[in-house]
Chains A and B, each alone.
Chain A
Amino acid sequence: MSDTQWTRYYVFKKDTEKTPFESCGTVHAPDAELALQNARDVFVRRPNCLELWAVPADQVYTWSGDEVGALLESSMGFEDEGEVYHVFLKERRKTQHLLAGSVRGVTPEHALRAALKAFFSAEIGVWRLVPERAVLRSERSEQPSWFGPAYDKLYRQPNFYHTDSLMREIRRRRGESKPDED
């Protein structure tokens, strides 16, 4: 059977000016532009988003905290050079991968060493690096149309519909109610 799956893209989002970008999951899409659009529908609760990034999964480099320990010593005194990588970190016992900052690297491994030098802590369980060149981002100027509020759309919320109580009432009127349902 041939593989009919589309490319997987990592999605990163920034909810407010005060919160950092976080890695929120992945979507499938035929290309980056549609990945960004799919990300908007899958991960954003409007209007709580300022900016979204989509990055092809094969351009996202991830190491566990245990893997990087061996590299730590050789990372000290390392020169930052090469292209920009964004560094997302997840602390052990926490769930979010948050943007810690950016470093430069000639290769992903090189960038990882630069990241270790800048951000190392034994508390970090996951190191995730993303080269800047692989990021497709939503335009801040188009923020309203991407993430405009849906406050007035109460009908989008499941608790807007009193289906349970209506069904009970309908059954009761039809004489179908069972004692334990009321």
Chain B
Amino acid sequence: MKTELGSALGAYLLALADDELILAHRNSEWCGHAPILEEDIAFANLALDEMGHALIWYRLLADVCGEDPDRYPDQLVYTRTAPEFRNVQLVEQPKGDWAYTLVRQFVFDAFEAVRLERLVESSYPPLAQAAAKIQGEEFYHLRHTRAWVHRLGLGTKESNRRMQAAVEAVWPDARQLIAPMEAEAPLVAEGIVPPSGDLEAAWLERVRPEFEAAELALPEDVHPRADSRRDHTESLRDLLAELQHVARAFPEMMAW
């Protein structure tokens, strides 16, 4: 792959990987705290799946950059500072209540499903293969979170109220997912990735009917707080402080 295209693809993959990693970490915070034991197990499982997807993207990124795929992911995860992360702000927000966590996961899964449907047709075969691998698990995630959106939306007055508040908190930040990535133009031109903006219609088609069926209203005309994936909130710094604490205290011990 040409150098210019390679670095554009690297930037794109880093964004995908960081989204998955940070969301996985936020979801892992429910471990031992979910509302019921079975859901605790299910959600920890889902967090581990997202962590696995992050690893797939980080390793592919290592290949594209000519780095060691066994060591580079750890380096990226444990040694970068907050401004160097390229995740959307949606995934770094504190886990909130169960409604916030579920709605965030649902809209993220729905977006991912739509993007993966396009990435499996990528003209860059390793990317298409990685996307296909992730697709199966995402299908399952979406089934799980969709089921919960319906049950809590249609549950009690309180569950509906909390879900509606969650939709209103999640949706503006979620729209950052369809903002074009910094370096995607040359990748789009080569058929390696879809234009991010093109994913909006298919995403809405998945999300809107589910919310409507669950008696939840999607706010109109809202915009993400962040202009770019370089912008982060204090929450990411807090998250990284915890995530990187041991690695930073014992940098010479990076053996895992």
Could you list which residues of chain A lie within 8 angstroms of chain B, going by C-beta atoms?
6, 27-31, 33-34, 37-38, 40-42, 142, 144-146, 148, 150, 152-153, 155-156, 160-162, 166, 169-170
Contact = CB atoms under 8 A, between A and B. Distances in A.
B147 A37 contact: yes
Contact of B38 (A31, A38, A146, A155): A38
A170 B250 contact: yes
A153 B53 CA distance: 10
Contacts of A166: 253, 255-256
Nearest to A165: B255
B36 A6 contact: yes
A51 B189 CA distance: 43
B139 A37 contact: no
B136 A148 contact: yes
Given A30-B151, A145-B137, A160-B256, 11 more contacts: A28-B36, A33-B147, A34-B151, A37-B144, A38-B38, A40-B42, A41-B41, A144-B136, A146-B140, A148-B136, A156-B52
A148 B51 CA distance: 16
Contacts of B36: 6, 28
Instruction: Label chain B's interface by main secondary structure.
Output: helix
B37 interface: yes
A30 B37 CA distance: 13
B143 interface: yes
Interface string B130-170: 00000011011001100110010000000000000000000
Complex A-B, nearest 5 residue pairs according to Cβ-Cβ distance, in ascending order:
A38-B38, A41-B42, A145-B139, A145-B136, A148-B136
Given A37-B143, A145-B136, A161 B42 contact: no
Contact of A148 (B137, B147, B250, B256): B137
